Amino acid sequence: MKITFESDDDEVVQYEPPRSARVGGRPPAAAAYEPRTAPIAPVPCMPIQKNGRSPIPLDVNRLEEDDGTPRYAKSSVLVNPTHVNGKVLATVYPDNIICDWIVPPHYDALSMPSILAIDVPALPGPDYISTIQTIVESSRFKLYSTIYSRIIAIWMTFWILSLTVTLLLQSHGGWPVMIWCLVWTVLLFVGIYGCAMIRRQIRIGLNHVVKKANKIIVDRHFLTGVEDRGQLSCHKVVIHFIRFNVLECRADIIRQLKIIKTGGCVFGGANQQEDPNEESIEREAAALILQYSQEYVKSVVKKRLIFPSKPIHGVSNYAPKHCRAMMCLCQFIDERHFNPKPKKWYAKYI
């Protein structure tokens, strides 16, 4: 369909509408025409300039403020020790390769776990070497690593073999064999008791060794301890390093010692005692911390001191004090030394 119309200049103009407009005689829909939008210009970006200088390493021991004034890095063990006390930082395993089930464990004192040098305040390398050498070069540690967990098994194996040989040689039996079996049974239990006494002496000797080792690193807010994870093999004796700030626990132990030495609060009278020597009490508190450090580290690693989180898990006589979710060192000493539970009659012999 063509439309003819005349303009003002008497010119005839013919216009033919598009095919879409001729369908049904209706005008085209507005959606049939797409609006024309201006092209979007890209976002301007700053060019990246390559810096030819090498990066400056970060010194974790000494940081700087924005104004250039140097300051020492703050550590969580100093600012808020409750959050990090009792945290196991590193476990040192023996490096035995040949006959590790029989040969006593060997440790490389020059191979230091990296976490001990990264965590602030860090453990100096010479202190780590001295700590490891103090432990592993002691004869009491060698007895612990080779005999402690195996002496009862060795005794029972030897004694059962002796009974077997006796029964094979005395094939006729009779009263001598019966009497020997009774004597063998009595000697078996006597030997087990003797092994328990030897284990106790070895354990006491190990506590003295770890006490000397912790004396080196306790001022660095570290504690170390030894654990035997094996039953027959000798290559599972490990050395643990945990983070612990003993300053708050030491203050509580000093307070407890003062109460014990003064007999409580004395306000006057003929029975008034002299004030205890501050230096001797501080020395005694430090000795208690070092004395129970081995047992405490071992209990922390085995998760024996964690407070129950639900009533079905039991009830504890202590509340979190210097550790977030477990018994701290001063509470451990209070339970073992100041207020020990009554023991069985045989506890002091084994």
| Average pLDDT rounded to a whole number, residues 151-179 | 87
SS (H, E, C) the chain: CCEEEECCCCCEEEECCCHHHHHHHCCCCHHHCCCCCCCCCCCCCCCCCCCCCCCCCCCCCEEECCCCCEEECCCHHHHCHHHCCCEEEEEECCCCCCCCCCCCCCCCCCCCCHHHHHCCCCCCHHHHHHHHHHHHCCHHHHHHHHHHCCHHHHHHHHHHHHHHHHHHHCCCCCHHHHHHHHHHHHHHHHHHHHHHHHHHHHHHHHHHHHHHHHHHHHHHCEEEEEEECCCCCCCCEEEEEEECCCHHHHHHHHHHHHHHHHCCCCCCCCCCCCCCCHHHHHHHHHHHHHHCHHHHHHHHHCCCCECCCCHHHCCCCCCCCCCCCECCHHHHHHHHHHCCCCCCCCHHHC
- Domain end (from 193, 214, 243): 243
Co-location of 166 and 119 in the same domain: yes
Co-location of 233 and 276 in the same domain: no
Is residue 348 situated within a structural domain? no
Buried b (16+ CB within 10 A) or exposed e, 152-164: beebeeebeeeee
Model pLDDT, residue 174: 81
Cβ count near 218 (within 10 Å): 20
Provide the pLDDT confidence category of residue 156 given band limits of 50, 70 and 90: very high
- The tally of domains found in the chain comes to 2
Biggest distance spanned by C-alpha atoms of the chain: 153
Co-location of 100 and 228 in the same domain: yes
Model pLDDT, residue 56: 40
Q: Which residues, in sequence order, are bridge partners of residue 222?
A: 243
Domain range spanning residue 279? Answer: 247-342
Q: Per-residue pLDDT for 297 more than 80?
A: yes
Co-location of 228 and 282 in the same domain: no
Co-location of 199 and 280 in the same domain: no
- Domain end (from 214, 243, 272): 243
**Residues with Cβ within 8 Å of residue 71, at least 6 apart in sequence:** 62, 63, 64, 65
| Sign of the CA dihedral with 78 first, then 79, 82, and 83 last | negative
Q: Which residue has the higher pLDDT, 320 or 286?
A: 286
pLDDT (tens digit, 9 = 90+) per residue, 309-342? Answer: 777 777 777 888 888 889 999 999 999 999 888 8
Preceding peptide of 121 cis, ω within 30°: yes
Average of per-residue pLDDT values in the chain: 78
Distance CA 350, CA 347 (A): 6
Co-location of 118 and 210 in the same domain: yes
Co-location of 208 and 292 in the same domain: no
Is residue 146 situated within a structural domain? yes
Provide the pLDDT confidence category of residue 14 given band limits of 50, 70 and 90: low
Distance CA 184, CA 163 (A): 7
**Residues with Cβ within 8 Å of residue 252, at least 6 apart in sequence:** 321, 330
Co-location of 309 and 233 in the same domain: no
pLDDT (tens digit, 9 = 90+) per residue, 43-59? Answer: 444 443 444 444 444 33
**Residues with Cβ within 8 Å of residue 72, at least 6 apart in sequence:** 61, 62, 63
Cβ count near 181 (within 10 Å): 12
pLDDT (tens digit, 9 = 90+) per residue, 104-154? Answer: 889 999 999 999 988 888 899 999 999 999 999 999 999 999 889 889 989
Q: Per-residue pLDDT for 293 more than 90?
A: yes
Is residue 235 situated within a structural domain? yes
Is residue 200 situated within a structural domain? yes
Q: What Å distances lie between residue 167 and 161, 171, 190, 192, 275, CA to CA?
A: 10, 6, 21, 22, 70
pLDDT (tens digit, 9 = 90+) per residue, 204-241? Answer: 999 999 999 999 999 999 999 999 887 777 778 999 99
Model pLDDT, residue 3: 54
Tokens of 71: 């300051």
Distance CA 73, CA 75 (A): 6
Rg over alpha carbons for the chain, rounded to the nearest Å, is 40
Distance CA 30, CA 328 (A): 79
Co-location of 230 and 300 in the same domain: no
| Cβ–Cβ under 8 Å, residues 140 and 200 | no
- Domain end (from 243, 278, 302): 243
Co-location of 305 and 291 in the same domain: yes
Q: In 3D, which of 234, 233, 217, 242 has the Cα closest to residue 303? A: 242
Q: Which residues, in sequence order, are bridge partners of residue 237?
A: 228
Position 300, amino acid: V
Is residue 336 situated within a structural domain? yes
